Amino acid sequence: MRHFSATQIASTEEFFQVLATTDRSQVAIMNLAAGQTSGEYGTDHPHADQVLLVLEGSGSVRCGDEERDLATGDLVVIPAGLPHQVAGGPMRSLNFYGPVAYPEA
């Protein structure tokens, strides 16, 4: 078991940090400054679903031909392989991947 306190999660300032990886899943924190994006539009985890929970702030997500505004408490499910991009306004999110998206982390 790995435990992360709310204080630990809130104090993570890196752009993207994998917190834990198991044989079948992964969890990470993503911090986006105002106007910053998760990367180029596309997908960098073609074999893993992503569940993104907005912990604080606001932003937007573009998936396929849809775009949605995001606010604290919103949840987005991004199927494996779907081109996407997340933008901050600023925004902190908790991201779950299944199976593991970033095996090198």
pLDDT tens, residue by residue, 70-103: 999 999 999 999 999 999 999 999 999 999 999 8
Q: What is the pTM of this model?
A: 0.93
* Domain range list for the chain: 6-98
DSSP label of 66: E
Q: For residue 86, which of 31, 45, 18, 47 has the smallest C-alpha distance?
A: 31
Q: How many residues does the chain have?
A: 105
Fold of 6-98: Jelly Rolls (2.60.120)
Around Cβ 95, how many Cβ atoms within 10 Å?
Answer: 22
To the nearest whole number, what is the mean pLDDT of the chain? 95
